[in-house]
Amino acid sequence: MVRWLIFLGAIGTLGLRIWLSPSGQSQYSVGQKVKITATVTREPLKVYQKEYLVFEGIALEIPSKVDLRLGDRIVVSGTLTDKLPEMKNAQFGLINESFTKIQATLSAGTILQNWRLGMMAKFQRWLPADEAALAAGILLGGSESMSYDLRQAYRRSGMSHVVAASGYNVSVVAGWTILFFGRWLNRRLTILFGIVSIIIYVFLAGGSAAVVRAGIMAVAAWIGQLFGREGDALWLLGVASWAMLLINPEYMGDIGFQLSVAATAGILWFKPSREILASLAAQAATLPLILHHFGNLSVVAPLANLLFLWLVPPIMQLTALGVVVGPANWLAWPLLKLMNQGVTWLSSWSWSSWQVGQISWLWVGGYYLLLVILSRTRLFRRV
């Protein structure tokens, strides 16, 4: 009973925070002249060989001659246009009239960003372009270095999640920490090193909403273990999501955040006993959101995950080794090549992906209600 009272209070607080937060959509209109001053806190998005940053719902195109790093300040002025179809998180585009970069001073953020870029450069040195892009995506998250055709192949086959750093990557990092430090240190120090390693990885992975959410959950769980308390994973998911939305209500409209929370909730709700069943649970939980935002249904997604998802753990391990010892990336090349070619082959089938049209939030809510009801049946309990 106390838990549910806390839950209702948290929802009320969050609702008040969102209601009081300024709306990024109401203060702008197409044709309006704007000037934006902001700090770069995430990596640019690549769309058709162009790079964009999204601030306050506006997609800012980065000039090709400008090299941005985390922590840089930018001052951009221009005229608002209709949003780009590919930029789901932006309500407007911008015709740049001026773009000024103010170099960031040396900080922990810039050091980690340079470290990330150095790791990506090592992949590009030792691996072909497509395999280097996949290696960077699996280990560090992000598909910005992938070619458009390869990125579309992963989307059509329902495999985009393997290049989006999330809870799986965080759990692997946590596992590596326990395996390495657990042999030499006591349990308390191992957990402390694990927390530090997760925080560092969150920054290395670009600090996307999905990986931040996973990092908060993992850190909260380990802090609980330090004090001898085992946390309920579903409640940890709720607390992490609530804290992120309380700090930044704009996460509410972040597609990556929505998909990450839904996928994690699906796995924790159904509690599948096998990895492939966990993948199916995540796909079932994210399906209505994918249809709402993209209107695209990947028919081959279950088959693609069954055939290629097992490649992710060894690729992460080999590419992590390759960051330290460059030639070790060659060991990962056959697996990377197999995944790229397999995903491209599946996505080339004419019926691999159906454009069924975007569904409304009402249908999304109805789907989740039906899913919860079905999950209480004996059929789902057996699974």
Look at residues 80, 85, 104 and name the one whose alpha carbon lies nearest to residue 25.
80
Residue 2: predicted pLDDT? 64
Same domain, 140 and 189: yes
Tokens 């995540």 map to which residue? 282
Of 105, 126, 161, the position where a domain reaches its end is: 105
Residue 336: predicted pLDDT? 95
Per the structure, the complete domain to which residue 228 belongs is given by 112-382
In a domain, 377, yes or no: yes
Same domain, 101 and 118: no
Same domain, 183 and 70: no
Query: Which helix (H) or strand (E) segment is 223 a member of?
Result: helix 209-226
Same domain, 64 and 138: no
Hey, what amino acid is at 232? D
Split into its structural domains, the chain has a count of: 2
Hey, what amino acid is at 362? L
In a domain, 221, yes or no: yes
In a domain, 27, yes or no: no
Same domain, 136 and 279: yes
Residue 24: predicted pLDDT? 45
Of 57, 72, 105, the position where a domain reaches its end is: 105
Same domain, 233 and 377: yes
Residue 110: predicted pLDDT? 67
Mean predicted lDDT score pLDDT of the chain: 82
Beta strands (DSSP E) in the chain are 33-39, 45-47, 50-55, 58-62, 73-82, 92-102, 296-298, 353-355
Same domain, 71 and 149: no
Query: Which helix (H) or strand (E) segment is 365 a member of?
Result: helix 361-375
Same domain, 147 and 44: no
In a domain, 41, yes or no: yes
In a domain, 21, yes or no: no
Same domain, 165 and 78: no
In a domain, 286, yes or no: yes
In a domain, 209, yes or no: yes
Same domain, 168 and 94: no
In a domain, 10, yes or no: no
Residue 25: predicted pLDDT? 47
Q: How many CB atoms lie within 10 A of CB 240?
A: 22
Tokens linked to 366:
């109805």
Per-residue 3-state assignment (H helix, E strand, C coil) for 295-331:
CEEECCHHHHHHHHHHHHHHHHHHHHHHHHCHHHHHH
Per-residue model confidence as pLDDT tens digits over 251-301: 887 788 888 888 888 888 887 777 667 778 888 889 999 888 888 888 898
Of 70, 105, 140, the position where a domain reaches its end is: 105
Look at residues 194, 213, 201 and name the one whose alpha carbon lies nearest to residue 141.
201
Same domain, 76 and 171: no
Residue 371: predicted pLDDT? 86
pLDDT per 10-residue tile (average), the chain, 383 residues = 68 74 63 85 74 83 81 86 74 84 67 77 89 90 80 89 79 80 82 87 80 85 74 80 84 83 86 74 88 86 89 90 89 95 92 84 90 72 52
- Cα gap 43→52, rounded to integer Å: 9
Residue 330: predicted pLDDT? 93
